[in-house]
Amino acid sequence: MPARFRHAALIGKHQLPGPQPLLTEIAAFLREQGLRVSLDHAAAAQTGADPAAALSLAEIGAQCDIAVVVGGDGTMLGIARALAPFDVALVGINQGRLGFITDVRAAEWHEALGTIIMGDFEEERRSLIEGGIWRGGQRAEEGLALNDVVVGRGATASMIEVRVDVGEEFVANMRADGIIIATPTGSTAYALSAGGPILHPAIGGWVLVPIASHTLSNRPIVLPDGKPVVLTIVSDADVSANFDMHGITALGPGDQVRVWRSDLSARFVHPHGWSYYATLRRKLRWYEGTTS
């Protein structure tokens, strides 16, 4: 059995106003179990704790060995990117609908955390995409994504044209509303709604999904993640790029989005008996033929 956790960070959802009793209950429970508990700024504001004692994400990464994130998948995405360099274990408690990566339901947090903090849990690593924007041969922006990198049209209705290269090989010029490059984690996000396949998190690959392609034969393709992918803007149109819908950057002809598999990974812990397939059944309502 893995070693017991000793210093927990409790992280809240920044958009929620006012006091959050759930955060107060979780903090008290963790302390009762003998853990030192530190709060991020959102959790401190929502529990009435001294804001001066709240930790930044960098301080949480340096001091804590587990982070309990209360919110949805969107909240977890930012936390996972920030804490990936520190190898902090992440557990997500979802206050609304069941999430793919915040998979502990709020009604079940007590039992789930009780076993996790004692070292009885399932652990998995999720890969990240690293990369950036190149302009005139120089790196202009950098980015990190747990879900996906999206190159898409801006405010205009025009399609965009993007050249796709994988490693040293030219793949195609694609005309579409946009292009998504998604990790296995991100395969159940925007890429899924655009018609892409679901990739199991253990797969060392990405999915490249055209958004509303002009040519029906431009289909989603699963790529190995061992080679970089380069998306070069061909069309003179309103184009933008983002990493996990964060840091949107305007692009022009000749600009490139270059991505590769990051050396970093997000470390998730789940209650004992957790199953990725069970999460898919619940989230996607695959109820037929199951008893759970």
**Order of strands, sheet of 221-224, starting from the edge strand that comes earlier in the sequence:** 221-224, 205-211, 178-182, 148-153, 239-243, 246-251
- Scan for tokens 């949107």, then name that residue: 248
- Calpha distance 138→135 (Å, rounded): 5
Are the beta carbons of 36 and 5 closer than 8 angstroms? no
- Calpha distance 143→106 (Å, rounded): 32
Ramachandran region of residue 255, left (φ > 0), alpha (ψ -120 to 50) or beta?
beta
Are the beta carbons of 154 and 250 closer than 8 angstroms? yes
- Scan for tokens 């977890």, then name that residue: 76
Are the beta carbons of 173 and 234 closer than 8 angstroms? yes
Closest by Cα among 258, 260, 262, 261 to 133: 258
- Active-site residue 73, yes or no? yes
Number of H helices, E strands in the chain: 7, 17
Tokens describing residue 167:
């490693």
Tokens describing residue 32:
């009762």
Within a 10 A sphere around the Cβ of 236, how many other Cβ atoms?
A: 11
Are the beta carbons of 129 and 261 closer than 8 angstroms? yes
- 201 alpha-carbon distance from chain centroid: 12
Of the candidates 40, 73, 148, 255, the residue annotated as catalytic is 73
The dihedrals phi and psi of 116, each to the nearest 5 degrees, come to -65, -45
Which residues are known to be catalytic?
A: 73
